[in-house]
Amino acid sequence: MPFSYSIAVVALPLLMFLVLGLLDDRLGRRTAGVIGTVAMLVTTVLAYGVALTYFFGTGQGQIVDGIRQTVTVWNPAWLTFTEDLVVRMGIALDPIAAMMLVVITTVSLMVHLYSLGYMSNHEGEPEKGYQRYYAFLGLFTFSMLGLVVATNIFQVFIFFEMVGVSSYLLIGFYYTSPAAVHASKKAFIVTRLADLFFLLGIMILSFYTRTFDFESLVGTGGVAASGALGSAHGGTFMGISIMAWALTFIFIGGAGKSAMYPLHIWLPDAMEGPTPVSALIHAATMVVAGVYLVAKLFPLYVLEQGAMDVIAVVGAFTAFYAAAIACTQSDIKRALAFSTISQIAFMMTSLAVSSSDGALIEIHGGYGLGYMASMFHLFTHAMFKALLFLCAGAIIHAVGSNENSAMHGLHKHMPITSIAFLIGCLAIAGIPPFAGFWSKDEILVACYAKGLGWGLWMTMVAGLTAFYMFRLYLLIFFWSDHKQHGHHAPADAHWTMTVPLIILAAISVVAGFVPAHDMVTCDGKPLHTQLDWTVAGSSVLVACLGIGLAWRLYYKENDAPERMKAAASGLWTAAYHRFYMDELYQFITHKVIFQCVSKPIAWFDRKVIDGTMNLMGTVTQYCAAMVRPLQSGKVQAYVLTYLIGALVLAAALIACVLI
Amino acid sequence: MTIFNNILIYFVIIPLLTLGGLALCTNAGRGIRAIRAVAVTGATALVALAAYLVYYFVTARAAGVQDAMLLRSDVMWYEPFNIKLALGVDGVSVVMIALSAIIVFAGVFASWKMNPLPKQFFLWFFLLSTGVFGFFISIDLFTMFMFYEVALIPMYLLIGVWGSGNKTYSAMKLTLMLMGGSALLMLGIIGIYFHSAPEGSPLTMNILEIAEANAIPHSWQMYLFPLTFVGFGVLGAMFPFHTWSPDGHASAPTAVSMLHAGVLMKLGGYGCFRIAICLMPFAANELAWIFLLLTGISVVYGAFSACVQTDLKYINAYSSVSHCGMVLFAILMFNTTAMTGAVLQMLSHGLMTALFFALIGMIYGRTHTRDIQKMGGLMQIMPYLGVGYVIAGMASLGLPGLSGFVAEMTIFVGSFMHEDTFRRVLTIAGTSSIVITAVYILRVVGKLLFGPVVDEHHRQLTDATWEEKLSTATLIVCVAAIGCFPNFFVDIISGSFEPVVKALNAAM
């Protein structure tokens, strides 16, 4: 069986979770970390082997007639619903799965290594939950790998839940802090709400197509299997085709994980978790699960333009919305979180602009550029965003605060971190030759092909991206001299933490040269792309404008930012408070659901339903109390009753005789 | 006698022998050791026997035995009314028996330090389990009803004597409401008996024969079905007959809550299926919508009610209303997938609620409160119990890999397969419970286990003892086993439903 060793890629992290989780304290702190990291290293090597063989090897069924195939390695039945509907737990390799294997294992390995140093102490004391932390990392890595190699949509759903719970456990890692507990709860419940829609989408989709399997749903090589979908077509509900409903619901599921507006509110709060976790889960891997899901079902979405339009609009709006908020945040992790939301929205939009009127748009003689660009951006973004988060972790570690007011002027103290962060910023801003330029440029080309408006809007957001990233960078590393708060001066961290930074920075420089257009395309055939100079030139220009503005405002301490803030105070405050979405949710959950639904129901239960039962009891007792005096046991009373009865009967008898 | 060759009868004999053994023990001095030894022996024997039964059943089915019921044997009890001790099991009863055995086993360890009167406690405890096992192994209406009553009565004493809080009120309420259900049930059973066979043939109590004859007139079915369904539905905590459950559970001692929520409530769902639906397919089809509505309400209503409770046991009792509502909801869907899901949900709910109640009992035994506002940060103090509680919570909110997910998904996918819009809309409403469940579970977990320690006195408390660990670990392993290898259980269960579903569709 080709690729049979890919089972080990998924199984090893699970094994690590079980071993580290069950042994827990019986294992030394350092031992647990080292075991976890080494296991992850092995997993990474194997995953690279799988991915490289899949992309560049031959003879194992990867390419048939020039079209990249899905290779199903393993697919046993797990849960049988009916003869048709069987949930399988399997491993299937297709271009995006292979690419995701590389992304997940790379970032996970870097995070494992980085955490050896970062997690060694917590607020000055040795971290107690070190073993638990590595166990959870293993669980998350397993879930995420299981998700991307899924052979059917139900398996994706299962692992959606699994990554959700690992994210819950890791956000709430510092479980003694109420903020972390609250954030983890919020993340879980918001994504659960989205998963509910995902489930409904699956139920509708599988009801009509009679299958969960991707292979029958979308076919190999991205050609929609019209057979499965044929029967489903034609049915409508409220004037919209059933399939569009199902696909939109599935998108909502993905939007929950990928933090699309208005389901994004959990992600900024999720930053309460340890920073390496934010890098792994909330920047590079789990949050792109929604994009991955839409990409997996891409051929179906193409057929349903309605669903595609929903994605495009939500994506384009979220990209701008999150970027605007990112411009005002003072907590560096939260600023990066909004940046992540915005970048994921780029990927979503890119997928959605690939088609119009139910067919793919042709660009330079090829189809599905948006799809390819989206996947490419997913890859590059994972690398540079993980880099940025890990840098943020090093900074937070050094100064002991998340607020950029506590930082300023760190460039002199932490040169390596500063350069790594700069590389990340250049990459995300889209400056050539860094990774982000190549992928973002293709996204913009796809957007322009859809319509001028789409292109201009996304270019504007790209400019905004450059601005807020450099605002962040300059406020952390320049602005003024560093005012020391802690006991010792901030410095670059231990090698376990700087090595991952250097590796990821190197990847962020070169990742743009990966020939994604040959590898990850929606029809399995290599896609011909060429640099569109007008688009590339204008996007670089806009990015430079953004950087220039940031430089002008934030390089040296001055009062221009304050004046700007004062000039647009309403807008600024609204953006700083994330346009009050959290307050809205708070209102809905606490005031509406708790006070207006749950409380009345509980009251109704106690007072009305239980009241009725108690009433029955009381009435019975009351009746009993009424009857009881008759059986008093007093002979006189009995005789009296007897006499009265006899007299009444006698009287009745006499009356009858007389009348 | 041939009946002793049937292993099923030993599910009744072992508890009875244990009763005998316990009767010889004393409470005084070192008597507690003997009591424990006898109870553990009895419970272990039951688990072993149940394991053998599962093995026997699986191999028999694999060998191609197609009978609806396996291990059949009949002994005449009372000739004039044709009442027999009729034994037999199908896939549904097999898993129910296994569930009961495991919960009895875990329950014995959870009541290790039972005080006062351990001997009497275990006597009633095993009498209750005799009733439970007897109910699951018999296929004769009369014997089933008799064992059903045997299972219900000990509850009154177990709560009234060993309970806590407002125990006299709760015990009385629970017993009266369940007895009310029994009264309806008895009417139903008598009604079924008098129409059990076509004109001229002898009347019978054997449910297989009744189902085969299918002689109950449709007009009668319309009366008898609601009587039996509601009769069992009371025990299955169907809205609006569920209010015994919160008070009853809150007052009951740990092991009794475990057994009650874990097994006794399953008698309700099992009975609804085995007697009401199987014997009266016509009325089942006609009247399903009423009960679907009621059980659908149970699912959402229970979940919302659980959101605002502050007593750990009340939260769980309402969550049980929601989960058991799902059992009855799915059993009324009349297709193999949903009905299999219902049985999986019974298993899952039984194990995970038993786990919940065991943990709540252990926490209550230490902190002497069940009010979540008075506790906090317990994870730091008792990590074993804390992790157990998180696992139970995850099973309850449907985490893949644990039992709840498998059961709920089978139910939802199965229920949604109906062409009928009414059922689909109800299913969609029911699925919303997965979010509400997450809300109340995470709320409890967050308040109880995480965050800072609320009461400084709690810092002196200890973590689980070995018998508590054994009790909870058994349940956790079972919950994970169902969650990881669902097809093993689905294969056992689903075969039993195919003939029933056929009969139901034919009756439409």
**By the 8 A CB rule, do B407 and B345 touch?**
yes
Measured CA to CA, the distance from residue B197 to residue B183 in angstroms comes to: 23
The predicted model scores a pTM of 0.91
Interface test with A, best of B249, B298, B442, B501 (most A CBs within 10 A): B442
Measured CA to CA, the distance from residue B476 to residue A466 in angstroms comes to: 51
Please name which of A482, A483, A481, A479 lies closest in space to residue A560, comparing C-alpha atoms.
A479
Tokens representing A204 are 């509708």
pLDDT at residue B496 in the model: 85
pLDDT at residue A140 in the model: 93
Nearest to B486 among A79, A182, A602 (CB): A79
Closest chain B C-alpha to A503 CA, distance in angstroms: 35
Choice among A112-126, A174-188, B347-361, B366-380 with the minimum mean pLDDT: A112-126
What are the pLDDT digits (tens) for A435-450?
Answer: 888 888 888 888 888 8
Residue where the block lists tokens 């930074």: A501
Nearest to A81 among B410, B427, B439 (CB): B410
Measured CA to CA, the distance from residue A184 to residue A229 in angstroms comes to: 38
Q: Indicate the pLDDT class of residue B43, thresholds 50, 70 and 90.
A: very high
Closest chain B C-alpha to A584 CA, distance in angstroms: 18
Indicate if the pLDDT at residue A208 is higher than 70. Answer: yes
The length of chain B is 508
Indicate if the pLDDT at residue A221 is higher than 50. Answer: no
Contacts of A80 in chain B (CB under 8 A): 487, 490-491, 494
Question: What is the 8-class DSSP label of residue A486?
Answer: S
**By the 8 A CB rule, do B142 and B83 touch?**
yes
CA A585 to chain centre: 18
What are the pLDDT digits (tens) for B65-94?
Answer: 888 788 888 888 888 888 888 888 988 999
Using the Cβ of B450 and the Cβ atoms of chain A, whether some distance falls under 8 Å is answered with: yes
pLDDT at residue A172 in the model: 87
Indicate if the pLDDT at residue A40 is higher than 60. Answer: yes
Residue where the block lists tokens 């009746």: A623
Contacts of A168 in chain B (CB under 8 A): 442
Q: Domain span at residue B310?
A: 3-507
pLDDT at residue B357 in the model: 92
Mean pLDDT across B118-135: 90
Q: Indicate the pLDDT class of residue B1, thresholds 50, 70 and 90.
A: low
Q: Tell the burial category of A609 from Cβ atoms under 10 Å away from its Cβ (0-12, 13-18, 19+).
A: middle
Indicate if the pLDDT at residue A594 is higher than 90. Answer: no
| CA-atom Rg of chain B in angstroms | 22
- Percent of chain A, pLDDT > 90? 24
Taking CA–CA distances from B415, the nearest residue in chain A reads A203
**By the 8 A CB rule, do B107 and B164 touch?**
no
**C-alpha distances in Å from residue A178, one per residue of A142, A181, B436, B448:** 28, 5, 21, 12
Question: What is the 8-class DSSP label of residue A69?
Answer: P
Measured CA to CA, the distance from residue B87 to residue B69 in angstroms comes to: 9
- Count of CB pairs separated by less than 8 Å, A with B: 118
Q: Indicate the pLDDT class of residue A222, thresholds 50, 70 and 90.
A: very low
Q: Indicate the pLDDT class of residue A209, thresholds 50, 70 and 90.
A: confident
Measured CA to CA, the distance from residue A596 to residue A604 in angstroms comes to: 12
Measured CA to CA, the distance from residue A458 to residue A476 in angstroms comes to: 27
Indicate if the pLDDT at residue B480 is higher than 90. Answer: yes
How many other C-beta atoms lie within 10 A of the C-beta of residue A630? 9
pLDDT at residue B204 in the model: 85
Choice among A203-207, A487-491, B150-154, B217-221 with the minimum mean pLDDT: A487-491
Using the Cβ of B416 and the Cβ atoms of chain A, whether some distance falls under 8 Å is answered with: yes
Indicate if the pLDDT at residue B156 is higher than 80. Answer: yes
Spatial CB neighbours of B398, under 8 Å, sequence gap ≥ 6: A161, B404, B405, B408, B409, B434, B437
pLDDT at residue A641 in the model: 87
Total number of domains in chain B:
1
Residue B176 sits at the vertex; the CA angle it makes with B124 and B261, to the nearest 5 degrees, is 55
Measured CA to CA, the distance from residue B446 to residue B453 in angstroms comes to: 12
Inter-chain contact B450–A199, Cβ cutoff 8 Å? no
Please name which of A347, A339, A348, A324 lies closest in space to residue A268, comparing C-alpha atoms.
A339
Closest chain A C-alpha to B337 CA, distance in angstroms: 6
What are the pLDDT digits (tens) for A96-133?
Answer: 899 999 999 999 999 999 888 888 776 667 777 888 88
Q: Is B64 left (phi over 0), alpha (psi -120 to 50) or beta?
A: left
pLDDT at residue A291 in the model: 92
Q: Indicate the pLDDT class of residue A643, thresholds 50, 70 and 90.
A: very high
Indicate if the pLDDT at residue A230 is higher than 50. Answer: no
Measured CA to CA, the distance from residue B57 to residue B384 in angstroms comes to: 36
pLDDT at residue B147 in the model: 92
Indicate if the pLDDT at residue B34 is higher than 60. Answer: yes
**C-alpha distances in Å from residue A430, one per residue of A90, A463, A464, A507:** 38, 9, 11, 15
Using the Cβ of B413 and the Cβ atoms of chain A, whether some distance falls under 8 Å is answered with: yes
Using the Cβ of B186 and the Cβ atoms of chain A, whether some distance falls under 8 Å is answered with: no
Contacts of A601 in chain B (CB under 8 A): 301, 304-305
pLDDT at residue B406 in the model: 92
Inter-chain contact A610–B243, Cβ cutoff 8 Å? yes
Measured CA to CA, the distance from residue A419 to residue A424 in angstroms comes to: 9
Interface test with B, best of A88, A139, A199 (most B CBs within 10 A): A199
Tokens representing A625 are 């109390």
Taking CA–CA distances from B441, the nearest residue in chain A reads A185
pLDDT at residue A1 in the model: 64
Tokens representing B290 are 């009423």
Indicate if the pLDDT at residue A227 is higher than 80. Answer: no
Indicate if the pLDDT at residue B166 is higher than 70. Answer: yes
Half-sphere exposure of A332 (CA within 13 A, CB side): 33
Measured CA to CA, the distance from residue B480 to residue B489 in angstroms comes to: 13
pLDDT at residue A552 in the model: 83
What are the pLDDT digits (tens) for B483-497?
Answer: 999 999 998 898 888
Spatial CB neighbours of A595, under 8 Å, sequence gap ≥ 6: none
Using the Cβ of B173 and the Cβ atoms of chain A, whether some distance falls under 8 Å is answered with: yes
Inter-chain contact B173–A598, Cβ cutoff 8 Å? no
How many other C-beta atoms lie within 10 A of the C-beta of residue A226? 11
Phi and psi for A493 in degrees, rounded to 5?
-80, 180
- Percent of chain A, pLDDT > 70? 95
Indicate if the pLDDT at residue A575 is higher than 80. Answer: no
Indicate if the pLDDT at residue A264 is higher than 90. Answer: no
Choice among A167-171, A614-618, B321-325 with the minimum mean pLDDT: A614-618
Using the Cβ of B202 and the Cβ atoms of chain A, whether some distance falls under 8 Å is answered with: no
Residues 391-410 of B with CB under 8 A from A: 394, 397-401, 405-406, 409-410
Half-sphere exposure of B8 (CA within 13 A, CB side): 28
Q: Indicate the pLDDT class of residue B477, thresholds 50, 70 and 90.
A: very high
Tokens representing A631 are 């059986």
Indicate if the pLDDT at residue A650 is higher than 90. Answer: yes
Tokens representing A643 are 């006499």
Which residues in B217-284 belong to E strands, given as ranges? none
Measured CA to CA, the distance from residue A77 to residue A306 in angstroms comes to: 34
Measured CA to CA, the distance from residue A371 to residue A573 in angstroms comes to: 37
How many other C-beta atoms lie within 10 A of the C-beta of residue B164? 17
Q: Are strands A77-80 and A125-126 parallel, antiparallel or unpaired?
A: unpaired
Q: Mean pLDDT over all residues of chain A? A: 85
Half-sphere exposure of A504 (CA within 13 A, CB side): 40
Mean pLDDT across A170-198: 89
Please name which of A121, A41, A95, A34 lies closest in space to residue A493, comparing C-alpha atoms.
A121
pLDDT at residue A234 in the model: 53
Inter-chain contact B442–A598, Cβ cutoff 8 Å? no
Indicate if the pLDDT at residue A231 is higher than 50. Answer: no
Phi and psi for A356 in degrees, rounded to 5?
-145, 140
- For chain A, helix (H) and strand (E) counts, in that order, are 28, 14
What are the pLDDT digits (tens) for B307-332?
Answer: 888 888 889 999 999 999 999 999 99
**By the 8 A CB rule, do A460 and A374 touch?**
no
**C-alpha distances in Å from residue B224, one per residue of B81, B188, B215, B265, B505:** 20, 5, 13, 21, 19
Inter-chain contact A162–B336, Cβ cutoff 8 Å? no
Inter-chain contact A199–B434, Cβ cutoff 8 Å? yes
Nearest to A78 among B412, B427, B487 (CB): B487
Q: Indicate the pLDDT class of residue A239, thresholds 50, 70 and 90.
A: low
Helix locations, B308-451, DSSP H: 312-331, 336-367, 378-381, 383-396, 403-416, 421-431, 433-448
pLDDT at residue A128 in the model: 78
Cis peptide, bond prior to residue A500, ω within 30 of zero: no
B89: β partners: B70
Measured CA to CA, the distance from residue A120 to residue A137 in angstroms comes to: 15
Element holding A489 (H helix, E strand): none
Interface test with B, best of A136, A166, A192, A211 (most B CBs within 10 A): A192
What are the pLDDT digits (tens) for B248-280?
Answer: 888 888 888 888 888 888 999 999 998 998 888
pLDDT at residue A636 in the model: 87
Measured CA to CA, the distance from residue A276 to residue A284 in angstroms comes to: 11
Contacts of B442 in chain A (CB under 8 A): 168, 185, 188-189
Mean pLDDT across A9-20: 90
Rounded-to-10 torsion of CA B122, B124, B127, B129: -70
What are the pLDDT digits (tens) for B378-436?
Answer: 888 888 899 999 999 999 988 998 998 999 999 999 998 887 888 888 998 889 889 99
What are the pLDDT digits (tens) for A307-338?
Answer: 888 999 999 999 999 998 888 888 888 899 99
Choice among A299-303, A452-456, A491-495 with the minimum mean pLDDT: A491-495
Inter-chain contact A80–B494, Cβ cutoff 8 Å? yes
Closest chain B C-alpha to A43 CA, distance in angstroms: 22
Closest chain A C-alpha to B59 CA, distance in angstroms: 20
